C-alpha cells in the first residue's frame, strides 16, 4: 500500500466484509458516526454496504431497512459534469455538500473507489482525489479507498489510487484479484487506526483462512516477480485504440474510458449524452451468443465494462473486439 507511514493489515473473506470493518475501525478511531460515499458507488451486498451503494436495483430493492448515518455526495463524472469542470472544482462541490449536509466534525470516514466499478468505470477528473484527500486529512476524517475491483494490478499499478499523485488514503479495502478467485480480503492502513479497536473487536471465524492466504501469497509473488503490471498496461495499449476507433465510427458510443485492463464503453442516444441501455442489452446479447462474455454496468445500465484476464493474448482480445464491433455496427 502506498503511503510513508507504518501499516497494519487485517484479513477477512469478501470485499463487503472488508468495507464493513474499515467503517468500524474509522468510527472507533475518530469517535464519530457519519460516513460519506459517492454517487454511482458500489461497495457490497451486506446491510451496511447496501446503504452505501448508489444503485437500488438489483442490489438493495426490497431488502431494507438499511443502516443509517450514510450520505451520498456528488462524484466527479467528467462525461456528465458541466463542460470544463476541473477535478478540483468537482471535489469542492462534494466538500461543500459534506460540510453543509453532514458537517466535517461529524464525519468518521469518506469512502471512495478511485475508479468506480459497478458505477461504470468512472475515472474522476485529475485533481479530484488529491483535493478530497487534503480536505479529509485537514479535518481528521479517515479516507478509505475501496480498491476491491480496481486494485491488485488491474489498472497497471498495484492500486488505482497510485494514478493520482497526492491522493493518500488512510485505509484500503482489498479483495477480488488478490487470490486468483479464492475467498480472501483485507483492510490495510495506518497502524494507529488499525490498532484502535479493543482486543476481539475485529475478526471473524474464517478470516485469512490458510488455503486462501496461500493463494494470495502465490498471486503476490507473481506480481512482485514482474510482468503482471506491464501486462495490464499492454492490454490498454491493444484495446483502447480499437475502442476509440469504434467510437469514431458509431454515434451510439459516447465515451471510452478506464485504465489498464479496466476499460469501458458508455452508450448514448446518438448526438446526445442520454444513456442508452437498450444498446447495451443488444450488444451483451450478441456477444454472449457468439462466445464472448461481457458485463454491463453503470447507474443507468448503459455501460459495458471489460475486465480481461491479465494473461489474455492479443489475438483473443482482437477476436473478442471483432464480435463486440459486429454488435455495435448492427445497432
Q: Does residue 1 belong to any structural domain of this protein? A: no
pLDDT tens column, 93-137: 999 999 999 999 999 999 999 999 999 999 999 999 999 999 999
Q: Give the mean pLDDT of the chain.
A: 97
pLDDT of 155 reads: 98
Residue 174 cell numbers, joined: 482489498
E strand or H helix that includes residue 205: none
Q: Does residue 2 belong to any structural domain of this protein? A: no
Exposed, middle or buried by CB within 10 Å (0-12, 13-18, 19+), for 64? exposed
The parent domain of residue 250 ranges over 228-330
Percentage of the chain exceeding pLDDT 70: 100
The pLDDT of 207-226, averaged and rounded, is 96
Domain final residue pick, 225, 245, 263: 225
Identify which of 58, 78, 161 has the alpha carbon closest to the alpha carbon of residue 124. 78
Radius of gyration of the chain (CA): 20
Same domain, 62 and 156: yes
What total of structural domains would you count in the chain?
2
CATH number of 203's domain: 3.40.640.10
Give yes or no for a contact between 111 and 19, defined as CB atoms under 8 angstroms apart.
yes
pLDDT tens column, 222-234: 999 999 999 999 9
pLDDT of 176 reads: 95
Q: Does residue 220 belong to any structural domain of this protein? A: yes
Same domain, 200 and 300: no
Q: Does residue 234 belong to any structural domain of this protein? A: yes
pLDDT of 292 reads: 97
Percentage of the chain exceeding pLDDT 90: 100
pLDDT of 275 reads: 98
pLDDT grade, residue 143 (50/70/90)?
very high
Q: Does residue 35 belong to any structural domain of this protein? A: yes
The pLDDT of 51-70, averaged and rounded, is 95
Same domain, 215 and 301: no
Domain final residue pick, 175, 201, 225: 225
Same domain, 173 and 322: no
pLDDT of 113 reads: 98
> Whole-model pTM?
0.96
Cα 105 from Cα 93, distance rounded (Å): 18
Same domain, 192 and 272: no
The pLDDT of 178-194, averaged and rounded, is 97
Residue carrying C-alpha cell 478509505: 144
Same domain, 58 and 97: yes
pLDDT of 212 reads: 98
Beta-carbon contacts of 265 under 8 Å, excluding residues fewer than 6 positions away, are 243, 246, 247, 253, 255, 256, 303, 304
Same domain, 32 and 140: yes
Same domain, 14 and 160: yes
Q: Does residue 119 belong to any structural domain of this protein? A: yes
Work out the number of other CB atoms within 10 angstroms of the CB of residue 41.
Answer: 24
pLDDT tens column, 270-306: 999 999 999 999 999 999 999 999 999 999 999 999 9
pLDDT of 328 reads: 98
- Strands 107-112 and 34-38, by their bridges, are parallel
CA angle 241, 161, 280 (to 5 degrees): 45
CATH number of 244's domain: 3.90.1150.10
pLDDT of 268 reads: 98
pLDDT grade, residue 220 (50/70/90)?
very high
Same domain, 234 and 258: yes
Same domain, 115 and 205: yes
Residue 37 cell numbers, joined: 460515499
Give yes or no for a contact between 24 and 201, defined as CB atoms under 8 angstroms apart.
yes
Q: Does residue 219 belong to any structural domain of this protein? A: yes
Q: Is 328 helix (H, G, I), strand (E, B) or coil?
A: helix
pLDDT of 248 reads: 98
Cα 145 from Cα 226, distance rounded (Å): 24
Cα 176 from Cα 161, distance rounded (Å): 16
Same domain, 87 and 101: yes
Cα 120 from Cα 108, distance rounded (Å): 27
pLDDT tens column, 160-185: 999 999 999 999 999 999 999 999 99
Domain final residue pick, 180, 199, 225: 225
Q: Does residue 125 belong to any structural domain of this protein? A: yes
Same domain, 116 and 129: yes
Amino acid at each position: 500500500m502506498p503511503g510513508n507511514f507504518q501499516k497494519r493489515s487485517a484479513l477477512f473473506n469478501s470485499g463487503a466484509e472488508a468495507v464493513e470493518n474499515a467503517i468500524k475501525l474509522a468510527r472507533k478511531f475518530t469517535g464519530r458516526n457519519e460516513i460519506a460515499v459517492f454517487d454511482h458507488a458500489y461497495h457490497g451486498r451486506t446491510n451496511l454496504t447496501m446503504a452505501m451503494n448508489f444503485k437500488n436495483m438489483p442490489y438493495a430493492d426490497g431488502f431494507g431497512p438499511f443502516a443509517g448515518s450514510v450520505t451520498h455526495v456528488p462524484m466527479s463524472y467528467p462525461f456528465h459534469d458541466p463542460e470544463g469542470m476541473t477535478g478540483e472544482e468537482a471535489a469542492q462541490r462534494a466538500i461543500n455538500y459534506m460540510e453543509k449536509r453532514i458537517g466535517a466534525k461529524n464525519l468518521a470516514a469518506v469512502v471512495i473507489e478511485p475508479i468506480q466499478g459497478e458505477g461504470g468505470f468512472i475515472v474522476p477528473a485529475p485533481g479530484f482525489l488529491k483535493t478530497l484527500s487534503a480536505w479529509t486529512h485537514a479535518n481528521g476524517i479517515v479516507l478509505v479507498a475501496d480498491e476491491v475491483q480496481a486494485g491488485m494490478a488491474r489498472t497497471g499499478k498495484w492500486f488505482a489510487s497510485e494514478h493520482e499523485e497526492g491522493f493518500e488514503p488512510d485505509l484500503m479495502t482489498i479483495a477480488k484479484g488478490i487470490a486468483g478467485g479464492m475467498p480472501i480480503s483485507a483492510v490495510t492502513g495506518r497502524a494507529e487506526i488499525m490498532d484502535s479497536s479493543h482486543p476481539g473487536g475485529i475478526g471473524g471465524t474464517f478470516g485469512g483462512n490458510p488455503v486462501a492466504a496461500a493463494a494470495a501469497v502465490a498471486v503476490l509473488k507473481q506480481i512482485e516477480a514482474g510482468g503482471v503490471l506491464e501486462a495490464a498496461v499492454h492490454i490498454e495499449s491493444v484495446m483502447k485504440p480499437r475502442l476509440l476507433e469504434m467510437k469514431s465510427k458509431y454515434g451510439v458510443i459516447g465515451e471510452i474510458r478506464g485504465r489498464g485492463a479496466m476499460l469501458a464503453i458508455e452508450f448514448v442516444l446518438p448526438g446526445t449524452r442520454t444513456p442508452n441501455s437498450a444498446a447495451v442489452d443488444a450488444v451483451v446479447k450478441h456477444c454472449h451468443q457468439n462466445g464472448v462474455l461481457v458485463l454491463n454496468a453503470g447507474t443507468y445500465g448503459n455501460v459495458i465494462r471489460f475486465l480481461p484476464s491479465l494473461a489474455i493474448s492479443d489475438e483473443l482480445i482482437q477476436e473478442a473486439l471483432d464480435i463486440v464491433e459486429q454488435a455495435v455496427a448492427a445497432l
